[in-house]
Amino acid sequence: MLNSTLQPAALPLHRTVLSNGLVVLTTENAAADIVAARLFVRVGSRYEAPQKSGVSHLLTSVLTKGTARLSSMEIAEQIESVGASLGTDSSPDYCLLSLKTVSRDFAEMLKLAAELLRSPSFPESEVELEQRLTLQGIRSMQEQPFAVAQKQLRQAMYGDHPYALPGLGTEETVAQLSRADLLHHHQTHFRPDNLVISITGRITPEEAIALVSEAFGDWQAPLKNRAPVPLLSAPTPSVVSNPHRVATPQDTQQAIVMLGYLTPSVHAEDYMALKLLSTYLGNGLSSRLFVELREKQGLAYEVSAYYPTRLDRSQFIAYMGTAPGNVAIALEGLHREVSRLAAEPLSEDELQSAKNKLLGQYALGKQTNAQIAQIYGWYETLGLGIDFDTQFQAAIAQITPEAAQVVAQRYFTEPYVSLVGPASAVG
């Protein structure tokens, strides 16, 4: 084992790298007799070829449906017999296996998780079933105005970049995916030096590392694909700024109005300020958008803003659901409130309230063992390091009104516009 480090904190975080490249993060917390683990694979839809869009989602959906040794039913019975929870997910930047159980059963469940990650069988019948369910989900989203607005805005902003495509894939690509595609994707990306395991709970770092070593220590990357840094630097098309308006007529009672601004990745210096600005602008009932556009003007059924954390260029989104007759005034109102952030600095009180809200929610997101395992594993997977937890909080606290305004001026210029609603409203 190599490169062991320790982060000073109320709950110390240990980082260890096994000889096969697997990263293990451990946080001992004996407050409850629960151990949670998050197993991150550094691959998501960002790494998919356009013609294979949706393969990560389909793979994770079938991952728990069989191994070389166990059937889907046997896997489910093993989990349920000890009252554990185990699930999978995929995102643009990673795939995830989540596990939670009482401490006495953790060793058994970790072995099961290792078997699922290392030797899934992808039964043909299960692949076909999940394929049908995914296609149903894609078709269902085509009927949801918010999903349609989000999709067309993403496509307008990202062009040929993989972030333009939905995580589920498209009807065309998902219908063409096969068991062979899942096997190839698994063999290429699911390997120990592409894996981060974050464990939190009633277990010592030494015990956790020993269990991980037993379950994963003999796993080696394929010889034909044993690169020092696996696929993290996979080339992706550049994102070129070209703000414009896109609209989809849809016979709905509610119109969706979205503004989008290209913003930097999580590794950029401006990331912290943009997170703070999104909190101020659109997070909760006291946010600027909610107060000004819903409470005072009565324009919005729903209104918010968000800034996703991404490895590549991200997007800052402000959106509103409104009556079709209010599309023009809603669009003007959203644009005015975002532009105001660049035109004038927030007051000290406004900025401090946003900081309190953001840091308070951040603290609430680290209350359970599962939440702690998630956030530390996520930071490691994104390449931020185990110190980012304290760096983030310190950086947010130091942002001044002037600094926040400079960042707003840098990104909140001409927006992309996405509209969905009756043709008379969005045409």
CATH for 64: 3.30.830.10
Task: Give the CB-side neighbour count of residue 212, counting CA atoms within 13 A.
Answer: 29
Domain count, the chain: 2
Picking from 225, 260, 278, the residue at the C-terminal end of a domain is: 225
Structure tokens at 223: 């010889």
Are 120 and 21 found together in one domain? yes
Same domain, 123 and 23: yes
Q: Do both 300 and 220 map to the same domain?
A: no
Tell whether 216 and 355 lie within a shared domain. Answer: no
> Could you report the average pLDDT of every consecutive run of 10 residues in the chain (427 residues)?
42 92 95 95 94 97 96 96 97 97 97 98 97 98 95 96 94 97 96 97 97 96 57 66 96 95 96 98 94 92 96 96 95 97 97 97 94 96 92 96 98 97 90
Whether 311 is covered by a domain: the verdict is yes
Last residue of some domain: 192, 225, 258?
225
- Among residues 223, 170, 171, 156, the alpha carbon closest in space to that of 193 is found at 223
Say how far apart CA 325 and CA 330 lie, in whole Å: 9
Residue 21 forms part of a structural domain: yes
Spatial CA neighbour of 113 closest among 95, 126, 127: 95
Same domain, 305 and 158: no
Ramachandran angles phi, psi of 210, nearest 5°: -65, -40
What Å distances lie between residue 332 and 171, 293, 379, CA to CA? Answer: 35, 11, 37
How far, in Å, are 173, 333, 418 from residue 422 at the CA level? Answer: 29, 20, 13
Is residue 405 domain-shared with residue 282, that is, in the same domain? Answer: yes
Residue type, 24: V
pLDDT in tens, 209-260: 999 999 999 999 876 555 544 444 455 778 989 999 999 999 998 999 999 9
Is 2 inside any structural domain? no
- Give the separation between CA 165 and CA 187, rounded to whole angstroms: 23
* Maximum C-alpha span of the chain: 65
Together in a domain, 326 and 212: no
Pair 257, 175 in one domain:
no
pLDDT tens, position by position, 80-139: 999 999 999 999 999 999 999 999 999 999 999 999 999 999 999 999 999 999 999 999
Amino acid at 188: T
Nearest to 57 by CA among 98, 88, 21: 88
List the domain range (segments joined by +) for residue 325. 245-426
Same domain (yes/no): 198, 269: no
Q: How many residues in the chain?
A: 427
Q: Are strands 23-28 and 195-201 parallel, antiparallel or unpaired?
A: parallel
Q: Quick one: pLDDT at residue 7?
A: 39
Is there a single domain that holds both residue 355 and residue 399?
A: yes
Query: Do 108 and 214 fall into the same domain?
Result: yes
Question: Do residues 219 and 250 both lie within one domain?
Answer: no
Q: Whose CA is closest to 59, among 22, 96, 103?
A: 96
- Give the whole-angstrom CA distance, residue 42 versus residue 58: 16
pTM of the entire predicted model: 0.92
Instruction: Identify the domain boundary among 193, 225, 257.
Output: 225
What are the residues whose beta carbons fall under 8 Å from the beta carbon of 35, sequence distance 6 or more?
A: 100, 101, 102, 103, 106, 199, 200, 201, 202, 203, 369
The reply to whether 231 falls in a domain is no
356 occurs within a structural domain:
yes
Tokens, residue 229: 């840094």
Q: What is the pLDDT of residue 262?
A: 97
